[in-house]
Amino acid sequence: MTTQITLQQVQHVAQLANIPISDIQAQNFVGAFEETLGVIENLKEVDTSKIEPTHQVTGLENVMREDVVDEQHMFSQAEALANAKRTSSGYFVVPRILDND
Amino acid sequence: MPTKKLPVGILGGKCKVLIQENKIMPNTYELVCGLEIHAELKTASKMFCGCKNDPFHAPQPNTYTCPVCLGMPGALPVANKKAIEWTIKLGLALGCKINLFSKFDRKHYFYPDLPKSYQISQYDIPFCYDGVVETSEGPVRITRIHLEEDTGKLLHRSVNGAEVSLIDFNRSSVPLIEIVSEPDIKTASQAKEYAKKLRQIIRYLDIADCDMEQGGMRLEANTSLRVVGEQGLPKYKVEVKNINSFRFLEQAIEFEMQRQAKLLDAGESIPQETRGYNATEGKTFSQRAKEDAADYRYFPDPDLPPIRFTQAQIDGFTADLPELPAAKAARWGREYQIEARFAEPLTAEKDEAAVFETLFSQAQTQKLDCNKLASSVYNKRITWPTAESIEKTLMEFAAQFKTDTVDTSQLEQAVEKVLAENPDVIEKFKAGNMQVLGFMMGQTMRQLGGIKPDPQLVRETIGKILKTK
Ligand SMILES: [Zn+2]
């Protein structure tokens, strides 16, 4: 096994995933990540020299819809907000985020 | 000696900092600028679902949503064919090459206006690339045009004393095109002209309203300065966001040129950052720097099979393109003998141009001078033509420039009479005094009383007679 995961990489991944983790958790993930990547490493044993790289697995192309409004599948405001923890005047409400764009 | 504030002058596109206290050679900088422009397409439905696309006129927030544009698990997006075709048409109108094979990718980041925690966009294979927009200050190359989905809209409010953000997903997944230019823009005025031309072309294609106030069109300027004579791109780039008018775009770039020139002259390095523009103060301001370089972890969206066009389809789109403003102005020159200085402004708006076209074509049938008519319209000397008022405009114009037919002998008689009454005219004319021609024109017209002959004909007749004397 050649992978070498650093604590910073774990913290970076946690930040990208927006998941807060403690230092101890981060430390534990270093080993866990190594192990996971080790398993993935096994895939290298498969001979892929004759396999075309692919973007997708369905083999489909050009699946498109006409530009038509589909009222049937649209939610009412009440339906849209039904699962929200907090709402106000028809809006979803979240804690204030920085107003920078 | 106290440090004096350095005077900063902007000369055309070049920023010159004059240091008068000591004799340091001043650096002259030039702007290096590229624009990123977003515009919402005005399709009937959204980009990846059948929800109504009309966020600015929705009666209530969160009334045009469905499982797809709310990012609910298991919902399957399906691409809007018209939005894709429109993107390609814009590319063709801007002389872009088209990727016959293309795809959508997921761009990952966390923000409350993005319900899926990723935005469907295009990464390495945009629909269009390598185009150009001509401006009076030189061409601006288009790097790429890609299609993506817009995000929801955030409002920052106070609810029951708590500072919160409110989210409206009516705009979520509205088709959004992004047009990225090369850093070819050399002045703030060129940036403005480029952006306006783009909007004009987009409106001609009738694919987006580009309402800047509402955010239907958004401008971002990547700016840096380079010492004149140096080659290559500067090491830094300042991205100015939140610009919602062409005038502010110009002002924000001018402000950045001065700010950056001062820093560079002081020997400081300019940080790579994102800045906002405060229109009230006419200044840009630093926005919170991202803690990390963007890491969007793009990958092809497995929900959306790739798109493949044939060259024949693309040729079909090209054939369908409407006549664009520059081509129309050139044709008006050929067909109606209208000068570019009138034809260009009068072709700026598609609907108006269609009215003018009818006007000029009728004027031509009536043997009226179309260039003079275009001048009158441009200078607002006659009733502004609308589809309903074309007749009225034509009659007004004809009345203003009405000429009566006069008998040649009657005209010659009038000229002779004026000459008889003013014998000094012939001497003056022979001595090269051309001012007498104006005098003769006026007097001859007066002789003819109520008749208004074609001034050109009168002038010619006077000239002809004077030469025989
Ligand atoms: Zn929807």
End-to-end CA distance of chain A: 44
Ion ligand 1 residue ranges (Cβ < 5 Å):
B 49, 51, 66, 68-69
Q: Do B45 and A67 touch (CB under 8 A)?
A: yes
Phi, psi angles (nearest 5°) of residue B260:
-70, -35
What is residue A2's predicted lDDT score, i.e. its pLDDT? Answer: 55
The pLDDT-based confidence of A60 (bands split at 50, 70, 90) is: very high
Q: What residue type is A92 in one-letter code?
A: F
10 Å CB burial of residue B208 (0-12, 13-18, 19+) is buried
What is residue B205's predicted lDDT score, i.e. its pLDDT? Answer: 97
DSSP string over B178-247: EEEE-S-B-SHHHHHHHHHHHHHHHHHHTS----TTTTSEEEEEEEEEEETT--S--S--EEEEEE-SHH
Distances (CA, A) of B263 to B17, B49, B276, B403: 11, 48, 18, 66
Other C-beta atoms closer than 10 Å to the C-beta of A93 total: 20
Q: Do A98 and B288 touch (CB under 8 A)?
A: yes
Distances (CA, A) of B26 to B116, B236, B266, B348: 52, 21, 11, 41
Distance B430 CA to ligand 1 centre (A): 84
What is residue B272's predicted lDDT score, i.e. its pLDDT? Answer: 87
What is residue A3's predicted lDDT score, i.e. its pLDDT? Answer: 63
Distance B46 CA to ligand 1 centre (A): 7
DSSP state of B116: T
List the single residue in B66, B117, B165 with the smallest CB-CB distance to A73: B66
What is residue A99's predicted lDDT score, i.e. its pLDDT? Answer: 53
Report pTM: 0.82
Residue with the bigger pLDDT between A53 and B244: it is: B244
What is residue B11's predicted lDDT score, i.e. its pLDDT? Answer: 42
b/e sequence B338-366, b meaning 16+ C-beta within 10 Å: beeebbbebbeebebbebbbebbebbeee
List the single residue in B62, B79, B165 with the smallest CB-CB distance to A81: B62
How far is Cα B267 from Cα B270, in angstroms, rounded to an integer? Answer: 10
Q: What residue type is B84 in one-letter code?
A: I
ipTM above 0.90, yes or no: no
List the single residue in B83, B110, B156 with the smallest CB-CB distance to A96: B156
How far is Cα B70 from Cα B73, in angstroms, rounded to an integer? Answer: 9
What is residue B10's predicted lDDT score, i.e. its pLDDT? Answer: 40
List the single residue in A55, A64, A101 with the smallest CB-CB distance to B241: A101
Below-70 pLDDT ranges, chain B: 1-26, 288-294, 402-403
Strands (DSSP E) contained in A1-101 are 64-65, 87-88, 91-95
Which positions in chain A touch B65 (Cβ < 8 Å)? 74-75, 80
DSSP string over B346-376: HTSSHHHHHHHHHHHHHHHHTT--HHHHHHH
Strand partners of residue B118: B108
Residue with tokens 């020299």: A49
Contact B93, B324 (CB under 8 A): yes
Which residues have C-beta within 8 Å of that of residue B153, sequence separation ≥ 6?
Answer: B55, B113, B167, B168, B170, B171
What is residue B454's predicted lDDT score, i.e. its pLDDT? Answer: 76
Q: Do B167 and A67 touch (CB under 8 A)?
A: no
Q: Give me the total of CB pairs closer than 8 Å, taking one residue from chain A and one from chain B.
A: 145
What is residue B448's predicted lDDT score, i.e. its pLDDT? Answer: 81
Among candidate residues B308, B99, B126, the one with its CA nearest the CA of residue A62: B308
What is residue B18's predicted lDDT score, i.e. its pLDDT? Answer: 47
CA A66 to chain centre: 29
Q: Do A69 and B51 touch (CB under 8 A)?
A: yes
pLDDT in tens, B389-406: 888 888 888 887 766 777
Residue with tokens 């696309």: B53
Strand partners of residue B155: B166
What is residue A98's predicted lDDT score, i.e. its pLDDT? Answer: 67
Which residues have C-beta within 8 Å of that of residue B181, sequence separation ≥ 6?
Answer: B34, B35, B36, B37, B133, B140, B141, B142, B143, B194
Q: Do B51 and A88 touch (CB under 8 A)?
A: no
Q: Do B51 and A66 touch (CB under 8 A)?
A: no
What CATH number should be reported for the domain whose range is B408-468? 1.10.10
Which positions in chain A touch B169 (Cβ < 8 Å)? 80, 92
Which positions in chain A touch B168 (Cβ < 8 Å)? 90-91
Q: Do B62 and A91 touch (CB under 8 A)?
A: yes
Give the chain A residue whose CA is nearest to the CA of B105: A55
Question: Tokens at residue B127, please?
Answer: 């629909």
Q: Where are chain B's structural domains?
A: 10-308, 323-400, 408-468
How far is Cα B62 from Cα B58, in angstroms, rounded to an integer? Answer: 9
Give the chain B residue whose CA is nearest to the CA of A90: B61
Q: Do B81 and A88 touch (CB under 8 A)?
A: no
Q: Where are chain A's structural domains?
A: 7-45
List the single residue in A65, A89, A100 with the smallest CB-CB distance to B80: A65
Which positions in chain B touch A97 (Cβ < 8 Å)? 111-112, 154, 156, 165
How far is Cα B108 from Cα B92, in angstroms, rounded to an integer? Answer: 30
Among candidate residues B153, B81, B165, B69, the one with its CA nearest the CA of residue B119: B69
